[in-house]
Amino acid sequence: MDLSLNEDQTMIQEIARKFAQAELEPLAEQIDQQGNRVAFLNNLKQLAELGFMGLNIQGEYGGAEAGTLVFSLAITEIAKACASTAVTMSVTNMVAEVIQAVASEEQKRRYLPKLCSGEYAAGGFCLTETTAGSDPSNMKTSAVLEDDQWVLNGAKQFITSAEFAGIFVVWAVTDKSATKGKGISCFLVENGTPGLIISKAEKKMGQHGSITNEVVFDNCRIPKAALMGELNQGFKVAVGELAGGRIGIGSLALGVGLAAMDFARQYLKERQQFGQPLANFQGLQWMMADAYTDLEAARLLLMSAADKKEKGQPFAKEASMAKLFASEKANAACYTALQLMGGYGYIREYPLERYVRDVRITTIYEGTSEIQRIIIARELLREIA
């Protein structure tokens, strides 16, 4: 098996790396501590101009047509510098992909170029609710057809980039008599639509630059043509897109874990104790070796899942495996890095404490580690059914 990257893949990865180091890394702490939204939005615009907001979108809609593997590689490089930027990029790509997959031609031509170009700073993925997190089929948000308009009522929780998303993909119950998981449809709702209310930003443990809001629909009226895909078939769309999103979040986690270990590795070479560099102590060497081995294994799992998705093969199990392993091992790597740095890793003068805060959510959003294990087990049993 040839795991080497081709020339185009290597080039895009290098562009992402250079952009992250030159533009994101110098501002990451400021964005985290001061919430500099102007700088954050400027970074998103530059990413769009580089083609990173539509990496797997066809060229006729303004996308880069670079593929899922490049998407994974780019997210990892961006996350090394700023996890908040990386998650916004990941979700916006996911929104663009679901529009490309199931929207009408008119909808694609209307919204995809705006996402890919940065005219829309981001896209919003409105699935989660207070009673429908790990179990999205239990959603309560409803859409009722009145004459030539759908009327949306309900609320979505933990929506990334809601304040500056230009378009929302929204799931709602359209047939309350249907069995659980059925009767759910998917809609496109533009920001600024009357009845769409974005609540104040949540105060989070980490990823402070990435704005997270509750989105409320209060008799929000949208055109009949805002339905995306088939009526009452939206849940299947959500499940399919979440699998792709897990590749993004696994790649993000990998990037944060690598950033933490890279910083700690350099510190071990410079810090002196007992008359010699910390890097000379075997116990610390083994901690470093184990962490990098886990992160390399995570990288290979992500590449495998991305390759299957790119080839149009079933990839749900592989995506869940990659997300589970990458997020858990990245969390462990960040704590290992902090431990290697001792007290210095715990203070804000160094970025380790930010990495630890930023990486924690990766085992929760886009499906918790526990849900990933359920999906993996289900797929394994299905293979022998």
Side-chain-side CA neighbours of residue 160 (13 Å): 26
Q: What is the CATH number of the domain that holds 247?
A: 1.20.140.10
Query: Do 80 and 13 lie in a common domain?
Result: yes
Q: Which of 90, 120, 150 is the last residue of a domain?
A: 120
Q: Helix-strand-coil percent breakdown of the chain, rounded to 5?
A: 60, 15, 25
Query: Do 107 and 129 lie in a common domain?
Result: no
Query: Do 158 and 78 lie in a common domain?
Result: no
d(CA 124, CA 267): 39
Query: Do 308 and 376 lie in a common domain?
Result: yes
User: Is 100 in contact with 53 (CB distance < 8 Å)?
Assistant: no
Q: What is the pLDDT of residue 180?
A: 85
Please indicate, yes or no, if residue 190 is contained in any of the structural domains.
yes
Q: Which residue has the tokens 């392993």?
A: 325
| Helix (H) and strand (E) counts in the chain | 11, 10
Active site residue 270: no
Range of the domain at 78: 7-120
| Distances, alpha carbon 29 to alpha carbons 75, 83, 88, 207, 337, in Å | 19, 11, 17, 11, 18
Q: Which of 232, 247, 275 is the last residue of a domain?
A: 232
Number of domains present in the structure of the chain: 3
Q: Which of 73, 103, 120 is the last residue of a domain?
A: 120
Selected catalytic residue, list 366, 370, 379, 383: 366
d(CA 126, CA 145): 19
Query: Do 248 and 317 lie in a common domain?
Result: yes
Please indicate, yes or no, if residue 111 is contained in any of the structural domains.
yes
Using the 8-state DSSP alphabet, how is residue 4 labeled? -
pLDDT for 147-182, tens place per residue?
999 999 999 999 999 999 999 999 999 999 999 889
Query: Do 153 and 248 lie in a common domain?
Result: no
Q: Which residue has the tokens 């990173």?
A: 52
Query: Do 214 and 278 lie in a common domain?
Result: no
Render each residue's pLDDT in the chain as its tens digit; 385 residues. 678 999 999 999 999 999 999 999 999 999 999 989 999 999 999 999 999 999 999 999 999 999 999 999 999 999 999 999 999 999 999 999 999 999 999 999 999 999 999 999 999 999 999 988 888 889 999 999 999 999 999 999 999 999 999 999 999 999 999 998 899 999 999 999 999 999 999 999 999 999 999 999 999 999 999 999 999 999 989 888 889 999 999 999 999 999 999 999 999 999 988 999 999 999 999 999 999 999 999 999 999 999 999 999 999 999 999 999 999 999 999 999 999 999 999 999 999 999 999 999 999 999 999 999 999 999 999 999 8
d(CA 294, CA 202): 32
d(CA 242, CA 258): 24
Please indicate, yes or no, if residue 93 is contained in any of the structural domains.
yes
Q: What is the CATH number of the domain that holds 179?
A: 2.40.110.10
Query: Do 172 and 196 lie in a common domain?
Result: yes
d(CA 284, CA 291): 11
Query: Do 134 and 67 lie in a common domain?
Result: no
Q: What is the CATH number of the domain that holds 22?
A: 1.10.540.10
Query: Do 55 and 139 lie in a common domain?
Result: no
Query: Do 214 and 292 lie in a common domain?
Result: no
Please indicate, yes or no, if residue 1 is contained in any of the structural domains.
no
Please indicate, yes or no, if residue 2 is contained in any of the structural domains.
no
Please indicate, yes or no, if residue 90 is contained in any of the structural domains.
yes
Please indicate, yes or no, if residue 40 is contained in any of the structural domains.
yes
Class of residue 96 by CB neighbours under 10 A (exposed 0-12, middle 13-18, buried 19+)? buried
Please indicate, yes or no, if residue 106 is contained in any of the structural domains.
yes
> pTM of whole model > 0.75?
yes
Query: Do 215 and 247 lie in a common domain?
Result: no
Beta bridge partners of residue 143, listed in sequence order: 152
